[in-house]
Amino acid sequence: MAIYHRRIKPTINLFHPIGEISELARGKLVFLEDCAIYDAQFWKYKGNIKKGNTHKLVLSNGKKDLVVLIGKQKNGIRKITIDKGEPALCEPLTTRYLPDYPIKDETPLTDVGYNKMDTAVVVGWLRNMPRKEWDKGREFDVTVPGILDDEDSFYSCKMDSTGRFSIKIPLLNSCQAFLDWKRSSIESVLEPGRTYFIYHDFKTGDKWIMGKDARLQNEILVSITVEPFVEKEITKTRTYSWNEL
pLDDT digits (tens, 9 = 90+) for 22-76: 333 344 677 787 888 888 899 998 988 888 888 888 999 999 999 989 888 888 7
CA 103 to chain centre: 20
83-92 pLDDT tens trace: 878 787 776 6
Note whether 17 and 85 are within 8 A (CB): no
pLDDT band at 233 (very low <50, low <70, confident <90, very high): very low
Rounded to the nearest 10°, the torsion over CA 50, 55, 61, 62 is: -30
pLDDT tens column, 142-187: 999 987 777 899 999 999 999 999 999 999 999 999 999 999 999 9
Greatest mean pLDDT among 53-62, 209-218, 229-238: 53-62
Residues 108-123: tens digit of each pLDDT: 889 988 888 999 999 9
Cβ contact 224:185 at 8 Å: no
DSSP state of 108: P
